[in-house]
Chains A and B, each alone.
Chain A
Amino acid sequence: MLAISPVNENTWIVYFGQTISDDVALQVKHFNDLLWSRHATVMLDTVPSYTSVLVTFNLRLIDRFTMAALLRKAHQLTLSIDLIDQALETRVIEVCYGIGAVNDLDYVAQYCGLSAQQIIDLHVGQSYRVYAIGFSPGFGFLGNTHKSLFVPRRKTPRLKVPAGSVSLADNQSAVYPSESPGGWQVIGRTWQNMVNWDSDEFAFLKTGYKVRFEPISETEYLAKGGQL
Chain B
Amino acid sequence: MPDIALDNLSKSFGTLVAVDGATLTAADGELLTLLGPSGCGKTTTLRMIAGLEEPSGGSIRIGERTVYDRARGIDVPAEMRHLGMVFQSYAIWPHMTVAENIAYPLRMRRVGRAGRRELVDKVLDLVGLTGLGDKPSTLLSGGQQQRVALARALVFEPALLLLDEPLSNLDAKLREQMRFELRIMQQRVGLTAVYVTHDQEEALTLSDRLVVMNHGEIEQIGTPIEVYEHPATRFVAQFIGKGNMIDVASGVDWQPSGARLTLLSAGGTTEVHIPSSSIRTEPARKATAATNGKPTPAASLFVRPEKVEIGNGTRAGAKSAQAVQLAGRVLGRAYVGNRAEYLVMINDATSLKVEASTDVTVGAGSDVMLSIAPEDMVLYRPSPQ
| Chains A and B are bound partners | no
